Structure 1
């Protein structure tokens, strides 16, 4: 329990539960913060439920339900943030030597959104967006990782604090403390901006100066497979020497190479998507909020890779098992690249453009909102030309002085 006393005033706050209202089936109970001002109790509902058996009443905190509890960190941060908010009010009145009454406290707490903790806001919205299926498991993990770094950089961050200078310092800290590359820093800043924009849309006052901090998107080289590498994977697929899990994963990977489907869509791919014209018509999982459909013709190769003749196309293992399988498959096929389903998608994009030069159709097939996103495959092929000339030049130099120019 946190307690403050001065000038005959006393404040305290503690996490409590109502033991008489525990759900008998689930063991869950509602969490409250019990604020006491001059002996007058004020219950503050948290809007959270946690198993009573995993709450330390003595310490006033929740405990993990299991090792690596997926929700514990989120809930703990929300509780800590609310405690910080209440203690901030206590501190303001203490420093100003002002009398804090229960009525004034309620008013201050209600209006606290003007200086609300961004850490708590981001934590709550990550959980809410995931529960509402607005973001997937991996995006949740990525956003949570950014939040962990941000809270490590500064435990309490008021909205008005986040301006251009703040983001510059955070980016610099990521580079010096964790030696993050530009691409990682760019992703972290982008995540923070996403939740600042959400807050702005909800009417929470943010410092618009944060928009002045511009960090360019990294233009890393896209990894994709060449024809001979795809051929090696097909030879491996047909070799009958793969264990079932490797065979399933390779089937789905090659299907992505010939359709551009993301792994999230491959898991959901089904015959219900296929029209009489042998086209897949569906709303991609990543952009499901827009409800915009994409139409992808099924090539004969892609159709031959479909595992099942009814229902879902594939039966796939967990993401971790797939990642392990892809590493094994790269070794077995003697491919010196990290195989991921992003690589498969980029393989489709680069080969489609190389063969057709039709950037507009490619944009529609891949479901890109902006043409600029698709243009990267044009740049790849420009790089192919430069690499080709470089290789030709290197071959020429290897034959010196036989091919030396004279005169």
Structure 2
């Protein structure tokens, strides 16, 4: 008796896919030839009771399509390349579905379509951020702001080795990154806080684009220490003016120091100092529109000018147009400023924003805490922004108690 020879069934790969009853996808040739007698191949998708077609970009004649295997026939000269692209299209759909399932987000055909035709990097937070930052730079966001954002993203990319899918980001990711910044990068608590605020901004932008359902910052608490802004003491400010009056600095350092000292006399930000023109001078008052960022509404500010401020303006040498010549790059301007004041040993707190803090602090000390007037001079929209400069001087305590009166 002859034994029946066992036949080995070789299963052909099935390139359709079903993921937990969430999505079905298969390749489909739309048999409507174009002018070149070619028909388009689509990925037919059924997702959560919604269906649609995704163009794979492949076009072949109907006779070159195998309806059983749902692939281009081997007789076609480009069958290997075309079939590879088709398989990658199916894999792309599956990858998107898996990412949504792991992130516990509801996938619709519209979201699938958007993700399918987006760049591969759109599912990776780092890659998406880099593209979004480039987009924001074209939106005229301040250069210093974008430099900070690039720095934060580079840190986050280093932290996760350049790969962080959206669905993997949660509160534990943020907590680990926060610790990494403090331990690995030796960042202060407030620097870490600033970095985390930048990350939160991009998570919110990703949510608006439909790439995330909710922010991982939901219940995450960002730590911040209360600290007084960097400012020069009265003796340090006097020393800075002595260095300026000595005329021993290079022309560039003298020019940068002049702008810094003018900021100490007026409280202007470096962005406003760069824009000042003689047309902003009305008699003995500086009148101009103050911008905190390029996307915020301007605030009209009037700052009375002291004799010292006038002298600094005249020293700048111009009589029309821009008053002060400053380096275009703010970071470079800060480096020049540190060199100009290197003899003072205050490099750790010298930067152009120190001028604004110095003005505010000394104004309050010389005007017994007149916070309301300072708010107007600083162009603050909320009194809380100005309150950070308010500290109680010991002389005010003694003077206040002396004015209280005696009854015995």
Q: One fold, TM greater than 0.5?
A: yes
- Residue 239, structure 1, aligned to residue 223, structure 2: no
Partner-residue secondary structure (3-state), 1:293 = strand
- Residue 194, structure 1, aligned to residue 206, structure 2: no
Q: Summarize the Cα distance change of 1:157–1:336 in structure 2 as closer, same or farther, 3 Å threshold.
A: closer
Partner-residue secondary structure (3-state), 2:288 = strand
Preserved CA contact (<8 Å) 1:159 1:206: no
Partners in 2 of 1:87 and 1:148 — Cα distance? 30
Partners in 1 of 2:182 and 2:257 — Cα distance? 37
- Provide the residue aligned with 2:233 in structure 1: 226
- Provide the residue aligned with 2:159 in structure 1: 153
- Provide the residue aligned with 1:278 in structure 2: 285
- Residue 108, structure 1, aligned to residue 112, structure 2: yes
- Provide the residue aligned with 1:351 in structure 2: 362
- Provide the residue aligned with 1:137 in structure 2: 143
TM normalised by structure 1 equals 0.64
Q: Summarize the Cα distance change of 1:205–1:264 in structure 2 as closer, same or farther, 3 Å threshold.
A: same
- Provide the residue aligned with 2:81 in structure 1: none
- Provide the aligned length of Structure 1 versus Structure 2: 304
- Provide the residue aligned with 2:373 in structure 1: 361
- Residue 291, structure 1, aligned to residue 311, structure 2: no
Higher radius of gyration, 1 or 2: 2
Out of 152, 169, 187, the residue aligned to residue 180 of structure 1 is 187
Partners in 1 of 2:294 and 2:321 — Cα distance? 23
- Provide the residue aligned with 1:210 in structure 2: 217
Partners in 2 of 1:149 and 1:88 — Cα distance? 29
Greater fraction of residues in helix: 1
Q: Summarize the Cα distance change of 1:348–1:288 in structure 2 as closer, same or farther, 3 Å threshold.
A: farther
Q: How far 1:200 moved relative to its partner?
A: 3.5
Preserved CA contact (<8 Å) 2:203 2:215: no
Partner-residue secondary structure (3-state), 2:282 = coil
Q: How far 1:132 moved relative to its partner?
A: 1.2
> Which sits farther off after the overlay, 182-191 or 284-293?
284-293
Partners in 2 of 1:124 and 1:354 — Cα distance? 47
Preserved CA contact (<8 Å) 2:96 2:112: no
Out of 177, 180, 185, the residue aligned to residue 170 of structure 1 is 177
> Which sits farther off after the overlay, 287-296 or 179-188?
287-296
RMSD: 3.7
Partner-residue secondary structure (3-state), 1:128 = helix
Partner-residue secondary structure (3-state), 1:218 = coil
Q: Give ranges in structure 1 of 5+ residues lacking alignment.
A: 1-5, 11-34, 44-83, 96-103, 390-407
- Provide the residue aligned with 2:131 in structure 1: 124
Q: How far 1:277 moved relative to its partner?
A: 5.8
Q: How far 1:266 moved relative to its partner?
A: 1.3
Partner-residue secondary structure (3-state), 1:180 = coil
TM normalised by structure 2 equals 0.64
Q: How far 1:337 moved relative to its partner?
A: 5.3
Q: How far 1:144 moved relative to its partner?
A: 1.1
Partners in 1 of 2:224 and 2:382 — Cα distance? 15
What pairs with 1:47-66 in structure 2 (closer than 5 Å)? none
Q: How far 1:129 moved relative to its partner?
A: 1.7
Q: How far 1:259 moved relative to its partner?
A: 0.9
What pairs with 1:317-328 in structure 2 (closer than 5 Å)? 317-319=327-329, 320-328=331-339
- Provide the residue aligned with 1:316 in structure 2: 326
Q: Summarize the Cα distance change of 1:41–1:209 in structure 2 as closer, same or farther, 3 Å threshold.
A: closer
Partners in 2 of 1:94 and 1:332 — Cα distance? 61
- Provide the residue aligned with 1:79 in structure 2: none
- Provide the residue aligned with 2:77 in structure 1: none
Q: Summarize the Cα distance change of 1:93–1:125 in structure 2 as closer, same or farther, 3 Å threshold.
A: closer
Q: Summarize the Cα distance change of 1:166–1:270 in structure 2 as closer, same or farther, 3 Å threshold.
A: same
> Which sits farther off after the overlay, 151-160 or 179-188?
151-160
Q: Summarize the Cα distance change of 1:157–1:228 in structure 2 as closer, same or farther, 3 Å threshold.
A: same
Preserved CA contact (<8 Å) 2:204 2:215: no
Q: Summarize the Cα distance change of 1:90–1:346 in structure 2 as closer, same or farther, 3 Å threshold.
A: same
- Residue 42, structure 1, aligned to residue 57, structure 2: yes
**Cα displacement string for residues 171-214 of structure 1 (whole angstroms, at most 9, x for unaligned residues):** 12323333332122211110011122233444554324522111
